[in-house]
């Protein structure tokens, strides 16, 4: 016999911590003061070179690309006089950028463009957003939808870490080289004869360029957490720097990776495209919390590595020809309650596990924790079991937003979260009405999509260090620690600052932007044709060469809602989305369960919300 979610929850399968009263987060607070600098909001007076303008191929192509958010350019090889360097600060919240702790980044922010309304893709986690950064497409189009998922064809008994070499190689083997469906920036640059350098302190690096081909990308190298492709590229680095520091020495790992990039991969000049991925402040924030002293020290460490990169560009004489992007993959929150969903579902009567000891049977449930979200796979896709499970979650007080492979009342479709493309059936449109999608094969590109994805509930209360953003999270970390991957605005809004010859000076961009926009913008700068249609847009409003057609871009915002009535009350979930042109950005999403009063009427939603945010 199954019992209700609230009865199970009362058995204290979660561990709460007290938090201060709630405090609303003003999105415009991020990088406060950056719009106060001289010339902020005014067009740049930098020279607009004919060579840069020529990269568009023609004015017609430029206008068409900007209007439709897609990207095609007339140049077949990277421009020799232009370089792009991307520096990723993993887990860097925009409200932590300030003159005291991040002087190098603060200086770039005042010199270049601050993207005030920047977005991660959902789930707001590293591997998903790393892939979005370098492909320019949503997770449902790349095929990589989470840090951890369940792919029975790779491992029928366990969830997988999507970025580790044996998983990536097996995925490519099974898919004919399409483990990630869309080529990355590095692969595209190499295919045109350009050189690339990828150096990451975390294992995400393999996803950014897993097909390094010495014949195609001569002298191109990918480093990731002490491994490399080509494999022999690591030898000369280790001979000088020693081995990559062991896990736990996060600052040392970032410093090692930075020196490997600047002193070795740039030894013969700065490539057309370089990417440095720093593990901090993410790794330290997971072990402490946003705003904790060790987390602040980790932010300072990342700033020192950024300064080292800029100094190396100066030594190379490449600063004036290099566009620099400093971006984070996602934001960060503090865990208010650690929710052991495994125990909760087991106590309620489901055969829910995080790994199977034997081959799974139809009706068994695989739970894949991703911090602030859980992917749920029902073996055999039994519709009755799935519906009962979702109704159970809707009556809990830890579920935030629920997405489904086959939608039911009170939920959203997976494609509304951009983690499935809706092919072979119908998909949601901007107006919320479904439209028919017919593609070859009649099936979703993302055939390993889960049956249910649940983002945990969140609120804007402050943690013990006065930093807003509290979430419920899975069983992997305890209350008081830091994590992410919900639809909280604190997880979904991240950092982007850009500077260089192609960007306006001292400018604040208030238009919505996202990680999916970096690839099309970088390809635009390098003058390279994308072989695929991209979801992201060119950030033309922030660039020196303004596109007349896109100069007046106006953002749109909408909120989708879904409700379901129960005898005890009403479940109500919402998802706020912004759009510029055809590119959509998930702003935030959450839910409230409005219980009925003794006379059968619904209680006021604001009172119910206060109960959830305790």
CA dihedral sign, ordered 386, 391, 392, 396: positive
DSSP state of 516: G
Distances (CA, A) of 479 to 101, 234, 513: 26, 39, 32
Q: 15 and 335 in contact (C-beta within 8 Å)?
A: no
- Omega prior to 293 cis, within 30 of 0: no
CA dihedral sign, ordered 370, 458, 400, 125: negative
Cα(545)–Cα(372) distance, integer angstroms: 40
Tokens of residue 365, six digits: 């449930």
Please tell me whether residue 393 adopts helix, strand or coil conformation: helix
Hey, where are the domains in the chain?
27-137+182-334+477-542, 338-475+556-612
> For 27-137+182-334+477-542, CATH number?
3.40.720.10
Q: 395 and 566 in contact (C-beta within 8 Å)?
A: yes
Length of the chain: 614
Cα(535)–Cα(543) distance, integer angstroms: 19
CA-angle at 447, arms to 444 and 453, nearest 5°: 100
Distances (CA, A) of 146 to 132, 149, 453, 586: 11, 6, 10, 16
Please tell me whether residue 299 adopts helix, strand or coil conformation: helix
Q: 522 and 55 in contact (C-beta within 8 Å)?
A: no
Instruction: Name 579's bridge partners.
Output: 556, 584
Cα(68)–Cα(370) distance, integer angstroms: 34
- Omega prior to 100 cis, within 30 of 0: no
Residue 551: predicted pLDDT: 60
Q: 208 and 217 in contact (C-beta within 8 Å)?
A: no
Please tell me whether residue 514 adopts helix, strand or coil conformation: strand
Q: 309 and 497 in contact (C-beta within 8 Å)?
A: no
Cα(201)–Cα(284) distance, integer angstroms: 13
The residues, any chain, with a CB within 8 Å of residue 592's CB and separated by 6 or more, are: 572, 605, 608, 609, 612
CA-angle at 276, arms to 241 and 417, nearest 5°: 140
Residue 608: predicted pLDDT: 35
Instruction: Name 56's bridge partners.
Output: none
Q: 175 and 372 in contact (C-beta within 8 Å)?
A: no
Over 156-174, what HEC string results? CCECEECCCHHHHHHHHHH
Tens-digit pLDDT profile for residues 137-161: 999 999 999 999 999 999 999 999 9
What interhelical angle do 293-316 and 250-259 show, nearest 10?
10
Tokens of residue 167, six digits: 């998983």
Q: 393 and 5 in contact (C-beta within 8 Å)?
A: yes
DSSP state of 231: G
Residue 531: predicted pLDDT: 87
Q: 584 and 119 in contact (C-beta within 8 Å)?
A: no
Helices (H) and strands (E) in the chain, counts: 18, 27
- Omega prior to 230 cis, within 30 of 0: yes
Please tell me whether residue 340 adopts helix, strand or coil conformation: coil
For 342-368, the DSSP string reads: HHHHHHTT--EESB-SS---TT-EEEE
The two beta strands, 148-149 and 352-353, are: unpaired
Collect the ranges in the chain with pLDDT lower than 50: 1-3, 5-75, 217, 423-427, 435-445, 602-614
């Amino acid at each position: 016999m199954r019992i209700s979610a609230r009865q199970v929850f009362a058995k204290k399968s979660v561990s709460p911590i007290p938090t201060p009263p709630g405090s609303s987060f003003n999105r415009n607070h991020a990088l406060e003061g950056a719009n106060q600098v001289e010339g902020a909001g005014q067009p740049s007076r930098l020279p607009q070179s004919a060579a840069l303008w020529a990269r568009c191929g023609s004015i017609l192509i430029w206008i068409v690309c900007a209007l439709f958010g897609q990207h095609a350019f007339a140049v077949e090889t990277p421009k020799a006089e232009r370089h792009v360097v991307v520096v990723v600060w993993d887990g860097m919240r925009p409200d932590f950028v300030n003159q005291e702790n991040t002087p190098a980044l603060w200086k770039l922010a005042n010199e270049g463009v601050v993207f005030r309304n920047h977005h991660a893709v959902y789930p707001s986690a590293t591997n998903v957003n790393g892939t979005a950064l370098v492909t320019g497409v949503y997770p449902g189009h790349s095929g990589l939808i989470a840090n951890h998922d369940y792919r029975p064809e790779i491992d029928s008994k366990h969830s997988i870490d999507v970025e580790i070499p044996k998983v990536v190689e097996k995925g490519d083997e099974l898919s004919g080289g399409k483990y990630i469906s869309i080529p990355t920036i590095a692969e595209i640059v190499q295919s045109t004869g350009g050189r690339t350098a990828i150096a990451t302190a975390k294992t995400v690096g393999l996803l950014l360029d897993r097909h390094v081909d010495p014949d195609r990308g001569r002298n191109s190298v990918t480093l990731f957490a002490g491994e490399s492709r080509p494999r022999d590229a690591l030898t000369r680095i280790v001979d000088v720097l020693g081995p990559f520091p062991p896990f736990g020495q996060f600052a040392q790992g970032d410093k090692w990776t930075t020196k490997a990039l600047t002193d070795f991969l740039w030894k013969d000049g700065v490539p057309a495209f370089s990417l440095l991925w720093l593990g901090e402040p993410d790794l330290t924030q997971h072990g402490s919390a946003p705003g904790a002293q060790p987390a602040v020290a980790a932010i300072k460490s990342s700033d020192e590595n950024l300064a080292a990169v800029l100094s190396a560009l100066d030594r190379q004489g490449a600063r004036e020809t290099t566009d620099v992007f400093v971006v984070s993959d996602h934001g960060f929150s503090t865990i208010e309650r650690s929710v052991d969903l495994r125990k909760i579902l087991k106590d309620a009567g489901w055969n829910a596990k995080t790994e199977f000891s034997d081959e799974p049977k139809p009706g068994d449930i695989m739970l894949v924790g991703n911090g602030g979200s859980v992917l749920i796979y029902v073996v055999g896709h039994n519709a009755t079991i799935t519906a009962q499970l979702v109704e159970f979650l809707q009556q809990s007080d830890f579920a935030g937003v629920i997405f489904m492979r086959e939608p039911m009342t009170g939920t959203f479709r997976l494609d509304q979260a951009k983690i499935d493309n809706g092919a072979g059936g119908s998909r949601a449109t901007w107006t919320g009405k479904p439209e028919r999608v017919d593609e070859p094969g009649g099936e979703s590109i993302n055939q390993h999509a889960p049956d249910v994805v649940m983002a945990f509930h969140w609120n804007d209360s402050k943690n013990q260090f006065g930093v807003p953003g509290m979430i419920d999270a899975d069983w992997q970390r305890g209350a008081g620690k830091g994590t992410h991957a919900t639809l909280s605005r604190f997880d979904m809004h991240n950092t982007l600052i850009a500077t260089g010859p192609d960007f306006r000076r001292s400018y604040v961009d208030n238009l919505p932007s996202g990680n999916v926009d970096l690839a099309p913008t970088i390809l635009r700068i390098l003058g390279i044709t994308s072989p695929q249609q991209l979801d992201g847009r060119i950030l033309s409003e922030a660039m020196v060469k303004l596109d007349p057609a896109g100069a007046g871009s106006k953002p749109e915002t909408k909120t989708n809602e879904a409700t379901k009535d129960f005898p005890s009350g009403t479940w109500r979930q919402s998802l706020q989305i912004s759009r510029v042109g055809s590119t959509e950005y998930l702003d935030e999403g959450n839910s409230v369960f409005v219980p009925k009063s003794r006379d059968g009427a619904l209680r006021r939603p604001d009172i119910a919300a206060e109960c959830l945010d305790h």
